[in-house]
C-alpha cells in the first residue's frame, strides 16, 4: 500500500511539474487552441500537454516492470502504440491533421495493443464471466479509441479531463 501511495504522489508531483514546464513551452511556441463556436473555453488555451501524459505513462510503465506489476513483454506490447499515438497527437497539435488519419492511427494502435495482449474473450461480472469471443476484442478496441477521443475532446475543459482520467484508471 505504501508503494502505491508513494507512486500516486510521485505521479501527481511529476504531472504538476512537467505540465507547468510544457505550458511555458506551448505559450512560447504559440501552441494555442483559440476558442470557436464549439469550444468550452473563452480564452486561448495552450495545447499539446498530452505529450507530458504519454511520457509520464512510459515512465510509469517502466516502473511497473521494475516493480513486477507488468512483465516486460506486456509493457512492450503497449510501447509502439503509445509512441505512435504520442507522435500523431503532437503532429496534430502543431499542424491540423485530418480526423480520418487520426482515427486510422487510433484504431490501428488500439487493435495492435489488444491483439498483443491476447484480446478480451470474456468480461468478469463478479460471480461469473460473460464469454464474448472475438466480439470482446472488437469492443475493447472500440473502448480504447473512444477513451482516447473522449479525453482529447475534454482536455480543453478545466477539471473535466482530470476527473475523466480518474474514471478511466
Give the residue numbers spanning the domain of 111.
2-168
pTM score = 0.72
pLDDT at 25 over 70: yes
Please state the domain count of the chain: 1
pLDDT category of residue 156 using cuts at 50, 70 and 90: low
The three three-digit cell numbers of residue 130, written as one number: 460473460
Q: Which residues sit opposite 123 in a β-bridge?
A: 130
pLDDT at 94 over 80: no
Q: What is the mean pLDDT of residues 139-168?
A: 76
Instruction: Give the span between the Cα atoms of 31 and 45, in whole angstroms.
Output: 8
| Digit-coded pLDDT (tens) for 36-91 | 776 667 777 787 777 787 888 888 888 888 888 888 888 887 788 888 888 888 88
User: What's the per-residue H, E or C state across 118-167?
Assistant: CCCCEEECCCCEEECCHHHHHHHHHHHHHHHHHHHHHCCCCCHHHHHHHH
pLDDT category of residue 159 using cuts at 50, 70 and 90: low
| Residue-level pLDDT at 169 | 64
pLDDT at 158 over 70: no
| Digit-coded pLDDT (tens) for 102-152 | 999 999 989 988 888 788 888 888 899 889 888 999 999 999 999 888 877
The three three-digit cell numbers of residue 141, written as one number: 478496441
Amino acid at each position: 500500500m505504501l508503494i502505491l501511495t508513494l507512486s500516486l504522489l510521485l505521479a501527481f508531483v511529476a504531472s504538476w511539474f512537467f505540465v507547468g514546464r510544457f505550458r511555458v513551452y506551448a505559450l512560447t511556441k504559440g501552441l494555442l487552441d483559440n476558442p470557436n463556436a464549439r469550444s468550452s473555453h473563452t480564452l486561448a488555451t495552450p495545447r499539446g500537454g498530452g505529450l507530458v501524459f504519454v511520457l509520464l505513462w512510459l515512465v510509469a510503465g517502466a516502473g511497473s516492470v521494475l516493480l513486477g506489476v507488468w512483465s516486460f513483454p506486456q509493457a512492450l506490447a503497449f510501447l509502439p502504440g503509445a509512441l505512435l499515438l504520442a507522435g500523431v497527437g503532437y503532429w496534430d497539435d502543431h499542424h491540423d491533421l485530418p480526423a480520418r488519419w487520426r482515427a486510422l492511427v487510433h484504431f490501428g494502435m488500439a487493435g495492435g495493443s489488444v491483439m498483443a495482449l491476447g484480446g478480451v474473450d470474456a468480461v468478469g461480472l463478479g460471480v461469473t464471466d460473460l464469454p464474448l469471443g472475438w466480439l470482446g476484442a472488437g469492443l475493447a478496441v472500440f473502448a480504447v479509441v473512444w477513451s482516447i477521443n473522449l479525453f482529447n475532446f475534454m482536455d480543453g475543459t478545466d477539471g473535466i479531463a482530470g476527473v475523466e482520467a480518474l474514471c478511466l484508471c
